[in-house]
């Protein structure tokens, strides 16, 4: 028989249980660090695809992409999952021509359907449409008048960039702020795909036909972005 006290305890236990579920640990943990780049050796580990002439530098611990149009910086090593890719990113707003506070974008686990074993055997111009031939995960984090942050799963077909309705965020907390560092984490853990920003999980996708190996690229268009503290980690079960 439930007493008044037991009913009160049950009522208290329900929000606690919900909170525990909300804070449940992730199934993965960082294991071995596979790669780092302290951005002091210029662009030795990166390949640039730029739609128009752009200023790109990697020195004093900072990678900077200052571009009037589309640009992608590909990390040269091919990644084999399960992995976590992380870095700090900042949208520069200092009065420069390209200081637009927008388009902090990334491809990960990317392959090109024209040359699946070698992403760089089929180079692209840097124009956004040229990336439709990738099979990849893609997040575009917006800001300013680009008021959406989106996750897409590219399938390697021109003009086909599938996106689920819940992966189109308008929440201001998911958008960029000027001159503020954001800690980005990209996860590919088996069929589990995640995108984190400052410890907040913006996207999660369970992909039954997951992309488990491929390349990583930093992407923007008409923006000036800075990056630091780049690392790739092997993941293990938590």
pLDDT tens digits, 57-84? 999 999 999 999 999 999 999 999 999 9
pLDDT of residue 22: 55
Judged against a pLDDT cut of 60, whether residue 127 lies above it is answered with yes
* Full residue range of the structural domain in which residue 198 is found: 26-237
Assign residue 185 the CATH number of its domain.
2.60.120.560
Q: Does residue 5 lie within any of the structural domains? A: no
Mean pLDDT lowest among 7-21, 40-54, 159-173, 198-212: 7-21
Judged against a pLDDT cut of 80, whether residue 161 lies above it is answered with yes
Q: Does residue 52 lie within any of the structural domains? A: yes
> If you search the block for the tokens 């907390």, which residue do you land on?
173
Max mean pLDDT among 41-45, 52-56, 167-171 falls in 52-56
User: pTM of the full predicted structure?
Assistant: 0.88
pLDDT of residue 116: 97
Judged against a pLDDT cut of 60, whether residue 169 lies above it is answered with yes
Contact 142, 103 (CB under 8 A): yes
Q: Does residue 15 lie within any of the structural domains? A: no
pLDDT of residue 11: 39
Percent of the chain exceeding pLDDT 70 equals 89
pLDDT of residue 24: 80
Q: Does residue 143 lie within any of the structural domains? A: yes
Burial of 186 (0-12, 13-18, 19+ CB in 10 A): buried
Judged against a pLDDT cut of 70, whether residue 7 lies above it is answered with no
Q: Does residue 217 lie within any of the structural domains? A: yes
Judged against a pLDDT cut of 90, whether residue 5 lies above it is answered with no
Q: Domain count of the chain?
A: 1
Question: What are the angstrom distances between the C-alpha of 100 and each of 33, 53, 97, 103, 222?
Answer: 33, 17, 8, 9, 7
Distance of alpha carbon 75 from alpha carbon 82, whole angstroms = 17
Q: Does residue 129 lie within any of the structural domains? A: yes
């Amino acid at each position: 028989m439930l007493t008044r006290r037991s009913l009160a305890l049950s009522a208290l236990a329900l929000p606690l249980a919900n909170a525990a579920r909300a804070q449940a640990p992730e199934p993965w943990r960082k294991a071995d660090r596979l790669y780092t780049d302290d951005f002091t050796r210029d662009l030795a580990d990166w390949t640039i695809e730029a739609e128009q002439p752009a200023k790109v530098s990697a020195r004093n611990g900072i990678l900077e992409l200052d571009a009037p149009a589309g640009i992608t910086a590909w990390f040269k090593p091919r990644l084999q999952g399960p992995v976590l890719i992380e870095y700090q990113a900042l949208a520069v707003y200092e009065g420069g021509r390209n200081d637009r506070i927008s388009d902090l974008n990334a491809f990960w686990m990317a392959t090109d359907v024209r040359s699946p074993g070698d992403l760089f055997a089929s180079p692209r111009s840097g124009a956004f449409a040229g990336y439709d031939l990738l099979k990849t995960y893609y997040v575009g984090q917006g800001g300013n008048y680009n008021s959406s942050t989106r996750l897409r799963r590219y399938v390697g077909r021109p003009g086909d960039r599938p996106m689920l309705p819940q992966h189109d965020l308008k929440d201001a907390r998911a958008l960029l702020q000027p001159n503020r560092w954001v800690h980005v984490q990209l996860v590919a853990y088996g069929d589990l795909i995640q995108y984190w920003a400052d410890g907040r999980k913006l996207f999660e996708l369970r992909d039954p036909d997951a992309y488990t190996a491929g390349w990583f690229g930093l992407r923007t268009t008409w923006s000036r972005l800075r990056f630091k503290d780049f690392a790739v980690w092997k993941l293990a079960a938590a």
